[in-house]
Structure 1
Amino acid sequence: MFFHIKELQYTAKPDKPDPIYAKKLQEVLGGQYGEMSVMMQYLFQGWNSRAESKYKDMLLDIGTEEIGHVEMLATMIAQLLDDAPLDQVEQMAKDPAIGAVLGGMNPQHAIVSSLGALPSDSVGYPWNSRYIVASGDLLADFRANLNAESQGRLQVIRLYEQTTDPGIRDMLSFMIARDTMHQNQWLAAIAEIEAKQGMITPASFPPELEKREVVHQFMNFSQGEESAAGRWASGPAMDGTGDFEYVQQPKAYGQAPILKPAPDFMHSRADQAPSIVNVGTLSK
């Protein structure tokens, strides 16, 4: 079960209303890499976890923290919408399309949510569960978590740079710091798992069933050769099981894709629709 306390994890109070910035903040609330996404991703990974108890506990710890971040953002958005200019709100209600262009405010904040936050991104696209990853493979999931925190921190920093409001910046500064910790957290968890099972996931697939001749080849499919200078093109492979090989002109291993002709009924003309077999009439 979950407990809720009235106080927020950190202060979420702008110095003045700003309905246009409220629209921008919707991205890090309900966007693909927003707080709703990481909240649901971590909680479902935790609820579904069959791994060591420390991983389940850690996932539920961070997932519960993200619930608090959702509340902080929702509170901030609602306050940014407080006292929005009356003529702007009325204009939105009369003609959302014109209002969105002239005012820059999200018309749904005035029409749908009564000056409250929405579970959607900055252009009104609703949050959906396809944003989250919960595969059951710890290494794959934790790498997805690191990506989510990296993209989320990037977006919050961009939003920080788009306002001078001290109250907004104060809250975003806290969230950026927590994102720094969360990236460190996932990097630590990833390193721990890699030390146990190796860097390639899933580790359960027998290596001898892979086509070993291509397992460490970097294949250059472009005309340039600049990619040969990368760490991925020579030297020991990251998984420690061989060396990288740079292949300048990869060869085709497969056959020419020649398919069988389509069945005759696929070629029938529009004016010669396939006949329908009479299966009898309905009894009265």
Structure 2
Amino acid sequence: MFFHRQELQFDATPDKPDAVYARRLQEVLGGQYGEITVAMQYGFQAWNCHLPGKYRDLLYGIAAEEFGHVEMLAIMIARLHSMTDDAGVKSMLSFLIARDTMHQNQWIAAARELQEENREALPVPSTFPRSKEASEHAYEYLNFSDGQAAAEGSWASGPTPDGHGEFSYVDGPSSRVPMGPPTRPDPRFHGTDPGPAVLSKAEGAIRDALS
């Protein structure tokens, strides 16, 4: 599970606006070799790691730190843009905000029409049998952050918009289970195995001979 701490690993405050450099930083954030890519790569390496203990912990730790780097870069880019006095940048941002206003209204209108036409209802998908839903978790607000302000929202207490329940606030996950042990790879895939490499090599050779 991931938890969010409302702190940054390092200061992400620029000295002055620079919309051009903010655009270049977007490649560092989400490009082919950017922080988002790296965070996901380390994450999948950790989830697929066959070695228990320190090696898997190492990968999980780096993956978590990389997500923190994503956060720092995103905030830096936003501040570089918002501080700018460049008329062209301000004009573009004004247009994008206006279009986002339209998109939000489109979704609101579409959701209302779907209900009026009896094509869909809350919660979606309305065709799924509620008897098969883990209803004890359906209206829990789970706080995965060290901030507490979300508890003040209408989504954390009181009746739910679908009329079927009451919201409740839970500070953290309401359920958790231990992480399972790493899987053991087929030695013919040449993955890193918990056992001695020479044994994996021999086992792979035997399987190749028998297949």
TM-score (norm 2): 0.45
User: Which has the greater radius of gyration?
Assistant: 1
TM-score (norm 1): 0.35
